[in-house]
Amino acid sequence: MCWKDEWVAAIKNLDRGIRHIEKAREKVHQRGLRNEKTIQTCIEVDDAWNRRAAQMRLEKNRAAESQCRTIIAGLKETRGQLQRMVETYGISRKQ
């Protein structure tokens, strides 16, 4: 396999990684929405202990979602850099 092919394979792997992290981010987001619903229920029934536990889980969900967004942005930047390298060094143009 040529070095150009290796770069293209790396780009494809980054794309797949981005898709998986995006799916995980969405699942964490959905979990956060469920925790918000739990918090509202605990407020209605005056359950301070479970409300605090749900709030702690919600904070973790928000932190995880934020980290996912940061990782995705970094991977997209790396993918773009690899694409520019393929365009610059990998494509031979006849003059």
In a domain, 3, yes or no: no
In a domain, 17, yes or no: yes
In a domain, 58, yes or no: yes
In a domain, 74, yes or no: yes
In a domain, 46, yes or no: yes
Residue 92: per-residue pLDDT? 60
The predicted model scores a pTM of 0.82
Domain count, the chain: 1
In a domain, 2, yes or no: no
Give φ, ψ of 60 to 5 degrees: -65, -40
In a domain, 29, yes or no: yes
Residue ranges making up the domain that contains 56: 11-85
Put residue 46 in one of left, alpha, beta given phi > 0 → left and psi -120 to 50 → alpha. Answer: left
Q: What is the mean pLDDT of the chain?
A: 91
What tens digit of pLDDT does each residue of 69-87 get? Answer: 999 999 999 999 999 988 8
